[in-house]
Structure 1
Amino acid sequence: MRALFTVLKPLIFLTLLGYCPSMTIKPKEGWQVFSSAQDADGRCICTVVAPEQSLCSRDAKSRQLHQLLEKVQNISQSIEVLNLRTQRDFQYIMRMESQMKGLRSKFRQIEGNRRTLLTKNFQELKGKMDELQPLIPVLEQYKTDAKLISHFKGEIRNLSSVLLGIQEEIGAYDYEELQQRALTLEGRLRNCMSKLTCGKLMRITGPMTIKTSGTRFGAWMTDPQASPRINKVWYMDSYTNNKIVREYRSVADFVAGVESRTYNLPFHWAGTNHVVYNGSLYYNKYQSNIIVRYNFDSGRVVTQRALESAGFHNVYPYTWGGFSDIDLMADELGLWVVYATNQNAGNIVISKLDPLTLQVLKSWNTEYSKRNAGESFMICGTLYITNSHLTGAKVYYSYSTKTATYEYTDIPFHNQYFHMSMLDYNARDRALYGWNNGHQVLFNVTLFHVIKTDDDS
């Protein structure tokens, strides 16, 4: 996924093996199979592996550098405190020096004329000694500071040794060159992905919690049709009684809460199943079966069309309710809408939409009740249905629009915050975007691909 690629800077292992099943590809510990492919006869395997979501945070060098940074900061703060204390004590000792000189003069006077030693002289000596009494703890503190300085010297020697070792491991590359290599590897990964045909969902990993914000229900998304340089995030809180869309220039800005623009839609939305596709927001108009296309550049509604016979306003919602009757989604093949009708006995209908006119291009009637489904999503023309409202969440049903057939599956995923009110696939990022009980999360997906060859008809 674009957001995770930027964070993880994935490496690529592209392996071509003859007559080997895909199960022989075993990535190293801490890596996951990003995608795996072979031709129809099993003659070729293309396996792409990438770091798991939390790998970089557990990377040995990253952890070591983080610890070194903390140590340097601690030493720096301690030396600063020591410096301030030394300056204070130095001024105090300067004052004591003059008192010491006075005391030495008094001793010389007494030494020169012991016979004239009087009670007055004893009182003066006692006063001088009392003035010098506070110097004793200052001198003791100096001893402690000397030990600290010695300790700091040892720490700095150790620090220099470790940094030198890390530098030798990294080699002669500077940060900019390493970053450029990571971007090149990312480009190679995307090239490999572009050569793969549509894949079948095999695994879901995660989630990675990107942010915690908003109410229990909502939606957040990026545009799968945007260029690689554009990583805007759109945020829509709540499933009803709202029409404010917040835009962020990047995932980093989204996490930091730095908005770039706010859109005030002309109509309230229903549910949380909106999608941004090719610069436009597609959503279900509140208390209707009308689909609205709102263009972000022009800031206005450019198309709206009723979805014929579609139930709305909690007639055929997902199990959790929330006016989730009409679910708009996008995948590698285009724009889709999932809903239910009386004609199909409340079972799920899948329709392919024209993104410009919102006309239904083709529809598929399934035999699965929409009210019994959790959140669903499309990948490569196949609808995957989940029980995402449950703790033991999994994908348990899929329907292929290519073959007009269904199958029962068992692909678990972690419902970390116990209630999913939005789950959408993004083909560009190869990720699932989720709104999990007020937490915005991302899931990695692993797809099985079949490679196109020149012999394919």
Structure 2
Amino acid sequence: MIGTLILTLLSSSAAWGQMNSMDGGTRGTCDAYLPSSTFLPSDLEVVEEVAVEVHHTLEVELGKMETYEIKITAYTARIVNLTGEVEKMEKAPEAFNEAHTESIKVQIKQVEALVMELQSSIHGSFAVFTSIRETVTSMISTLTRLEHNYDPNRVLEIRREYIKIQLQLEECERRHQEIFNPNIGSCAHTGIISVSKPIVSQINANLNAGVNFTSTNYEYRVIPRASTRFSYAHSPNQNFDFAADETGLWVTYASEASSGFLILAKINEPSFGIEEEWQTSVYKPGVSNAFMVCGVLYAVRTVDIQTEEIFYMFDTRTQQEHYISVPFERFQEGYANLDYNPTDQKLYIDDGRTDGQSLDDWGSGNVTVSVGDSGQILCHVYLPDTTFPASRVEHMQQVTKDLILEANIQITTIDSYMGKLVIFLSELQNLTGKVAILQSSLDNYIQLDFEILRIELREFEALVTQLKETLNVTSPMFDSLYDEIRNMTLIVNQLETYDRSNLEVIRIELAKLQKKLEDCQREQEDTNPEIGTCHHNGIVGLSKPTVIQLNANLNPSYQYGGWGKDSKPARGYESMYWYGGYTSPSVSDFYLYSDYDKLILRSSFKNIRLARGWISNGNNYIVHGNSIYYQHNTPFSMNKFNLTDSATGASRYTHRAIPDASQRFSYRYSPQQNLDFAADENGLWVIYASEESKGKLVVAKIDEPTFGIEEVWVTGAYKQQVGNAFMVCGVMYATRLVSLNTEEIFYSYDTESGQERQLSIPFVKFQEKYFNLDYNPSDQKLYMYNAGYYVSYNVKFN
């Protein structure tokens, strides 16, 4: 409302004013006041904004709670197994050697570390849920006060007018579509060929439905094969996806038996049961969403921050599948729901936002002052809509009620979890004590056995001496017996020494044997060009993974990290290996090993700890030219740490910022992987994404002497859909998820020619998620850090 107003109301609670000045003096002042009984929306807006934040936090924590439940079940099984092993050892200690006892001890230590890590995580969630409960309690108090202080009065004219216009627009769009599309309900077409630009209706009303709208009856059916482990790429917990089309009702899901690939099931509506199932060949976590049209499943994936693509279709009538490309525009970057409606042949998308703001402008009022043509002072007043928004307050009351109920349920669940973990730790400590006693008993048993042998040999020697003196003869037979006794005594001593060091010997022999096997495999497959050259046409395959061992910390919770060799080693360091890992993407400790045997034995010759202000982030680091290259977040930059520089302090660190690099885009398996360093036959590279590239990978060549950027290339691969990337002979290769145990090199970009190619080079993974993958030109291998394990691949070239 804009007008000229001269108004003063006493007993006011809100006021706005502006003064007009000219030539250093005041020409006029405008003031406007609202009475204290008039509703001001600021408190309600705060409640709605906080509700959005709480909803988001709650979703994140509920995802964690599901993970906690899975881990507790797994740890229970491991503790039961370990308890059984220890009981067997207690019953028959002589049947178990020192190596087996040490292995059980390490396993107990590993489970104990996992339980303590989970305990810490659950403590954090408890604090979050407690904070949520306190926040929601405060929100309830605010809503109660608003309800008591202001008379409810619905004024929604602006929103109704907006909705009316929007409906007219949609009707116009529908009539336009009817010209080209078949009749509603008909399947007289060969499939989808395009999707219109998005029509944005409004921000959601936060309505939930899980019951029959007319009878309020609940029904449920269990699908035994369905798994809760596989969700769509954009949202957790999307295990069942319901869909409807011209042929009826459907549900899609994934199972352990299908290895995460989408399963499509037809629902019999009267019985609410499954009629028939079809398995597709598209992996669910690699899909953004899916929907049904005329019995055909369409799967969608992300192309960039503004574009989705229908990339796959499966026809249940013919059981034929096709890879297609039907791009369409998104309104928001992420979305939680996508469904086709056969009654109007439209796709409905919900971007998942629940900020709950209405379409009205609930901003504060304001006053502006100006001078008219005749020199008079004009006051322009904008008054906000001050009527009480009853529907919004009522909705927020229901929201807060649901939130506090959920928070209380989760706090109770956490109390139960914490009780279980305390019992776990007690049981593990008890097992540790039992194993220590067994080790001591085993040592005593071994010592006693060898000591008994020595006593028996001494007694035998005394008997031979006595017999010789009694007979008073000299015979070669007695000399032979003496020699045999001395030899047997020596053998007993050697056996005892060997038994105490057999584990170390086995480790060394295992390392040598594994290296020989690897060399043998390499010789059989060795059709590659000479090391350091690029006389080939690119990668054609990878070998099966060589799983070396668990990381040097013997801790499977060290999921984030990397390992490998120096890609440009200094003289004398050609055989050196390195490792760095931690429970989060922030890594500060790196270990150097003189050769492969030392890596296996976890015997480092140097341990490097990055200074507090220079800690690495993102775990996409490499060692190149005797320096560690890694990402640093404060400031966001490339960092270089010299491994052998005699200088101390900050002088050993070098950093350079990349102005257009964004911290918003990471690889799909890990957060904060913004800068990915790579080395190949052509030198040093860094791979990232930018706002300008709309999240697509950018390859940059690093000038090593200046540690600056020489040249950049923008590729066509969207980073958040990529598992990882690496460089070979100036060509970037990008990987993506295919299934639980399969990854695929699906894309390449040649920086020399600017040519990009779509590839399909599948390879086996040891575990589903990996956080570091780099090619080393010094041995033509890929080094992967796979869920805490060292894994490597031989690269096969054309």
Contact 1:202 1:411 in 2 (8 A): yes
Task: Say if 1:252 and 1:304 are closer, same or farther in 2 by CA, change over 3 A.
Answer: same
Correspondence 1:217 to 2:560: yes
Correspondence 1:264 to 2:587: no
Alpha-carbon separation, structure 1, partners of 2:668 and 2:534: 35
* 2:173 equivalent in structure 1: none
Contact 1:226 1:278 in 2 (8 A): yes
* 1:234 equivalent in structure 2: 578
Contact 1:289 1:311 in 2 (8 A): no
Task: Say if 1:93 and 1:419 are closer, same or farther in 2 by CA, change over 3 A.
Answer: same
* 1:205 equivalent in structure 2: 543
Correspondence 1:306 to 2:657: yes
Contact 1:423 1:432 in 2 (8 A): yes
Q: CA deviation at 1:382?
A: 0.8
Task: Say if 1:294 and 1:199 are closer, same or farther in 2 by CA, change over 3 A.
Answer: farther
Q: CA deviation at 1:236?
A: 1.3
TM-score by length of 1: 0.56
Contact 2:772 2:784 in 1 (8 A): yes
* 1:419 equivalent in structure 2: 769
Cα deviations across residues 236-271 of structure 1 (Å, max 9, x unaligned)?
113534322222212221211112112222311111
Task: Say if 1:89 and 1:446 are closer, same or farther in 2 by CA, change over 3 A.
Answer: same
The aligned runs of 1:252-331 (5 Å cut-off) are 252-266=597-611, 267-298=614-645, 300-312=651-663, 315-331=664-680
Alpha-carbon separation, structure 1, partners of 2:728 and 2:786: 20
The aligned runs of 1:85-124 (5 Å cut-off) are none
Q: CA deviation at 1:383?
A: 0.9
Correspondence 1:344 to 2:693: yes
Deviates more, 1:256-265 or 1:82-91: 82-91
Cα deviations across residues 314-351 of structure 1 (Å, max 9, x unaligned)?
x2000012311110111001111111000111111111
Aligned length: 287
> Aligned to 1:332, which of 670, 681, 684?
681
Q: CA deviation at 1:88?
A: 5.1
Correspondence 1:249 to 2:594: yes
Q: Secondary structure at the match of 2:654?
A: strand
Alpha-carbon separation, structure 1, partners of 2:586 and 2:742: 31
Task: Say if 1:252 and 1:412 are closer, same or farther in 2 by CA, change over 3 A.
Answer: same
Task: Say if 1:352 and 1:390 are closer, same or farther in 2 by CA, change over 3 A.
Answer: farther
Q: CA deviation at 1:286?
A: 2.8
Contact 1:240 1:286 in 2 (8 A): no
Task: Say if 1:217 and 1:194 are closer, same or farther in 2 by CA, change over 3 A.
Answer: closer
Q: Secondary structure at the match of 1:304?
A: strand
* 1:437 equivalent in structure 2: 787
Alpha-carbon separation, structure 2, partners of 1:204 and 1:285: 32
Contact 1:385 1:396 in 2 (8 A): yes
Q: Secondary structure at the match of 1:262?
A: strand
Residue identity in the other structure for 1:224: S
Contact 1:212 1:440 in 2 (8 A): yes
Task: Say if 1:289 and 1:255 are closer, same or farther in 2 by CA, change over 3 A.
Answer: same
Alpha-carbon separation, structure 2, partners of 1:326 and 1:194: 25
Contact 2:687 2:698 in 1 (8 A): yes
Contact 1:232 1:249 in 2 (8 A): yes
Contact 2:540 2:761 in 1 (8 A): yes
Residue identity in the other structure for 2:605: S
Alpha-carbon separation, structure 2, partners of 1:325 and 1:411: 25
Cα deviations across residues 112-150 of structure 1 (Å, max 9, x unaligned)?
xxxxxxxxxxxxxxxxxxxxxxxxxxxxxxxxxxxxxxx
Q: CA deviation at 1:90?
A: 7.4
Residue identity in the other structure for 1:249: S
Task: Say if 1:382 and 1:316 are closer, same or farther in 2 by CA, change over 3 A.
Answer: same
Contact 1:303 1:356 in 2 (8 A): no
Alpha-carbon separation, structure 1, partners of 2:527 and 2:560: 34
Alpha-carbon separation, structure 1, partners of 2:577 and 2:735: 25
Q: Secondary structure at the match of 1:419?
A: coil
Task: Say if 1:84 and 1:429 are closer, same or farther in 2 by CA, change over 3 A.
Answer: farther
Alpha-carbon separation, structure 2, partners of 1:285 and 1:427: 25
* 1:5 equivalent in structure 2: none
Alpha-carbon separation, structure 1, partners of 2:527 and 2:744: 28
* 2:285 equivalent in structure 1: none
Cα deviations across residues 178-214 of structure 1 (Å, max 9, x unaligned)?
xxxx9xx9xx999944565355111101321222124
Task: Say if 1:83 and 1:261 are closer, same or farther in 2 by CA, change over 3 A.
Answer: closer
Q: Secondary structure at the match of 1:393?
A: strand
Contact 2:529 2:536 in 1 (8 A): no
Gaps of 5+ in 1: 1-80, 99-181, 449-457
Correspondence 1:397 to 2:747: yes
Q: CA deviation at 1:94?
A: 9.0
Alpha-carbon separation, structure 2, partners of 1:436 and 1:322: 16
Q: Secondary structure at the match of 2:764?
A: coil
Alpha-carbon separation, structure 2, partners of 1:297 and 1:95: 69
Task: Say if 1:341 and 1:201 are closer, same or farther in 2 by CA, change over 3 A.
Answer: same
Q: Secondary structure at the match of 1:253?
A: helix
The aligned runs of 1:34-113 (5 Å cut-off) are none
Contact 2:531 2:779 in 1 (8 A): no
> Aligned to 2:727, which of 375, 378, 396?
378
Task: Say if 1:381 and 1:251 are closer, same or farther in 2 by CA, change over 3 A.
Answer: same
Residue identity in the other structure for 1:268: I
Contact 1:217 1:437 in 2 (8 A): yes
Residue identity in the other structure for 1:212: L
Cα deviations across residues 79-115 of structure 1 (Å, max 9, x unaligned)?
xx999867756767999999xxxxxxxxxxxxxxxxx
Alpha-carbon separation, structure 2, partners of 1:322 and 1:221: 22
Contact 1:325 1:340 in 2 (8 A): yes
Gaps of 5+ in 2: 1-451, 470-519
Cα-Cα RMSD: 3.7
Q: CA deviation at 1:303?
A: 2.4
Contact 1:280 1:294 in 2 (8 A): yes
Between 1 and 2, higher relative CO (CA 8 Å, sep ≥ 6) is seen in 1
Alpha-carbon separation, structure 2, partners of 1:207 and 1:364: 31
* 1:116 equivalent in structure 2: none
Residue identity in the other structure for 1:263: I
Task: Say if 1:258 and 1:88 are closer, same or farther in 2 by CA, change over 3 A.
Answer: same
Contact 2:701 2:709 in 1 (8 A): yes
Q: Secondary structure at the match of 1:416?
A: coil
Deviates more, 1:202-211 or 1:374-383: 202-211
Task: Say if 1:442 and 1:226 are closer, same or farther in 2 by CA, change over 3 A.
Answer: same
Contact 1:244 1:265 in 2 (8 A): yes
Alpha-carbon separation, structure 2, partners of 1:227 and 1:311: 33
